[in-house]
Amino acid sequence: MVKQNLRYDTEVRQIGGIMMVLAMSLVIYPLFDTSDRLSDNFPDNDRYNGDDGGLAWALLCGNVAIIVLGLLGMAIGFMALTEAGHKYITVVGLVWQQTAFVDWVAKMYELAVTMGIDENPSSTTEFYFSMGILKMFFLKFMQYGSLAVTLFTLFAFQSRKGHLKNAAYYRKRLVIYSFFFAANGIFGYLVPGAKVYLDNEDNLPVKKPIKPLVVFVGQPITVPEITLAMGAIFALVGVYGMARGLGLAQNDNRYFQIAVAVAYIAYLGAVVLTEFSIGGRVAGAMAAGVEVINCHIILSFLDQKAKTMPEEMDEDYFHDDAIVTKFGQERARKLKKEKEEETVEAEGMA
């Protein structure tokens, strides 16, 4: 049993709270997606160009795996908040995390089928397919990886390795996730938005709701200028995060966290409320607003921890008896009492 102090409890509760929020989004957006698929003559629908239903079932299994992962994350996070967690329970979440690849692979295959990469192997189709694969890779990595960061961090604390999660650890993760955030902006918005703009320059700007020019990984691009602007915002925020993680930008303020929040608000207004409404994809809009929130939350969390955690900590930093919590004191008294009772019982038997 790991003896804990106030520092330990504060960190574990904070990680548990963030984990619950991240896991909640992994429950909500697959539910929207599953509901949409089940309402479309599942599994014998025609959205997959005559597929025999295998892809529909694979996508459903992927969504179920992510929903279970989200529920596990919420449960583990809640137990961390209430000091009822255990490292072996956290391991269950880490193991189930690997099932996210089912959803990942199924969604990439769906992209190939819906874009008709086999029936229509044109340069334009291949271009959008390549950009779609890259966007999906970076987006899914951040979605599922954000929960993995909190699970691994919680496991470290529960294994008495919390002192390894210092400021340098969070700065490295901030660089990695900021890079993926910027890459998602470039390949998921900036480049395809520019392609749509150049290919349809004579028909722009769109002045009234029309059929989407192209539906790119579930997102309609009807006003390419919006997609270009969002790509630029995401890329700049990602570069800013990398600079802070590498020590090239001042990191003792909240400017980066404000930038991340502004980027998410801009996404809701420009993409979810505008692009999706013009494109007539209301169900997609509901899922899209939740789907990307993990990407923004994890950046703010990593930046905050990189600013506030010590550069170096000894093994007893989170287990110092001098600052034992009330819970730890009560547990210590209970253990002491049990030991005294065992001693009295042993003496009586003697």
The residue with greater pLDDT, 211 or 40, is 40
Name the pairing type of β-strands 214-216 and 219-221: antiparallel
Considering only 30-34, 131-135, 140-144, 296-300, which range has the smallest mean pLDDT? 30-34
Res 134 pLDDT > 90: no
Which pLDDT does position 120 carry in this prediction? Answer: 67
Question: pLDDT-based confidence at 104, cuts 50/70/90?
Answer: confident
Structural tokens at position 307: 């600013």
* pLDDT 10s digits, 166-197: 999 999 999 999 999 999 999 888 888 888 77
Structural tokens at position 263: 């980027």
* pLDDT 10s digits, 308-337: 898 888 887 787 654 445 555 565 567 677
Question: pLDDT-based confidence at 42, cuts 50/70/90?
Answer: low
Res 53 pLDDT > 70: no
Res 98 pLDDT > 70: yes
Answer yes or no: are the C-beta atoms of 138 and 187 closer than 8 Å.
Answer: yes
Mean pLDDT calculated for residue range 56-64: 84
Res 24 pLDDT > 50: yes
Which pLDDT does position 52 carry in this prediction? Answer: 52
* pLDDT 10s digits, 195-209: 877 777 666 654 443
Considering only 23-37, 150-164, 170-184, 314-328, which range has the smallest mean pLDDT? 314-328
